[in-house]
Amino acid sequence: MAKETEMQLLTGRTALVTGAARGIGRAVAEAMASHGARVIMADLTAPDVAGIPGAEAIALDVTDEAATERAFDALQDRRLLPDVVVPNAGILHLATTTAMPLQHFTDVMNVNLTGAFLTARAAATRMSAGGRIIFTASLFGLRGGAGNVAYSASKFGMVGMMQSMAADLAERDIAVNAVGPGQIQTEMIEKLVETRLAEGLPDPRERLRARIPMGRLGTPQELAGSYVWLASDLAGYITGQTIVVDGGWQVG
């Protein structure tokens, strides 16, 4: 959208993205900044914001309720209260059901679901009319998959939470939606590939490419356009939805 028309869709907006150090979160922050938003990038350690105009970095553990509240208070004090919030921080532990340790299961739920709840709640408490909350769900929040017993549970939960929040907040004119990525070329995937190759297993991307109608994995940048659009005035009547960005994977 920006490239074609050079329209600045998010002028005057302040956006907070968690899990913004790498991958999808970083691409979303970059895209929102390029559309004129003031961007606050949060991660466990404050992300590098070099090259992103006007970006601020904060350190935040999204599973820490008190720290999350403090972070929003601090932003409010500095008149940087976000009106677009992207609870994006997430982790992945893959294992089949019988091999899944409880600790990995609860870690995934704590970061992906509880963490997203705490960020969204802190945001909604302080947000005024016109605000937007955009979760990073997953195609695995709409269907299951081998090895995804923890991740899929967290993302299904996120989709239900998102729809309920949409119902709670609509009267205050706060729209709540999610983006549902399919297979995106990120470090999360790279690590998975490395692990598989080290175990002598085939590169999972080959099988994926064959199953995706567009014939390739997506890039974080291709995903970011959907977040920018959901945050913009163009999407003002959309709430409670998951926008799937998967190159046709779920239909192929």
Partner 1 sequence: MGNILIVGGATGIGRAALMAFRAQGDEVFLADVNDGAGRALCEEQGAHFLHADLADPAAPRAITDACVTALGGIDTLFVNAGVLASAPLAGWTPELWQRSVAINLGAPFFLVQAAAEALRLSANASIVLTASTGALRGHAQMHGYHATKTGLIGLVRSLGDELGPDGIRVNAVLPGFIDTPFNAPFWAAQDDADAAQQKLAASIPMRRQGTPEDVAGVVTFLASAAARYVTGTQIVVDGGYSAV
Near partner 1 by CB under 8 A: residue from 59, 74, 197, 214: 214
Contact status, residue 83 vs residue 169, Cβ threshold 8 Å: no
> With binding defined as CB under 8 A, does residue 197 bind partner 1?
no
Residue recorded with tokens 């992207």? 86
Residues whose CB is less than 8 angstroms from the CB of residue 206 and which lie 6 or more positions away in sequence, other chains included = none
Q: Closer to partner 1 at the Cβ: 71 or 179? A: 179
> With binding defined as CB under 8 A, does residue 7 bind partner 1?
yes
Query: Nearest distance from residue 30's CB to partner 1, in Å?
Result: 13
The tokens describing 16, both together, are 């907070």
38 sits in which H/E element = strand 38-43
Of 47-55, 109-117, 123-131, 241-249, which part binds partner 1 (CB under 8 A)?
241-249
> With binding defined as CB under 8 A, does residue 150 bind partner 1?
no
> With binding defined as CB under 8 A, does residue 248 bind partner 1?
yes
Q: Closer to partner 1 at the Cβ: 133 or 149? A: 133
**Running DSSP on this structure, what letter comes out for residue 91?**
-
> With binding defined as CB under 8 A, does residue 241 bind partner 1?
yes
Near partner 1 by CB under 8 A: residue from 92, 94, 113, 243: 243
Alpha carbon 159 to chain centroid distance? Answer: 12
Find residue 14's DSSP bridge partners.
Answer: 38
Q: Closer to partner 1 at the Cβ: 30 or 61? A: 30
Contact status, residue 112 vs residue 151, Cβ threshold 8 Å: yes
Find the length of the chain.
252
Query: Nearest distance from residue 236's CB to partner 1, in Å?
Result: 6
Contact status, residue 13 vs residue 231, Cβ threshold 8 Å: yes
Q: What is the distance between the alpha carbons of residues 219 and 129, in angstroms, rounded to a whole number?
A: 32
> With binding defined as CB under 8 A, does residue 240 bind partner 1?
yes
Coil, strand or helix at 40:
strand
Which residues are annotated as catalytic? 151
Letter for the amino acid at 30? E
Binding mask 155-194 for partner 1 (x = CB under 8 A): --------x--xx--xx-x-x------x------------
| Angle subtended at Cα 77 by Cα 74 and Cα 79, rounded to the nearest 5 degrees | 110
Binders of partner 1 among 30-59, rule CB under 8 A? Answer: none
- The contact set with partner 1 (CB under 8 A) reads 1-5, 7, 163, 166-167, 170-171, 173, 175, 182, 212-215, 218-219, 222-223, 225-226, 228-229, 232-241, 243-248, 250-252
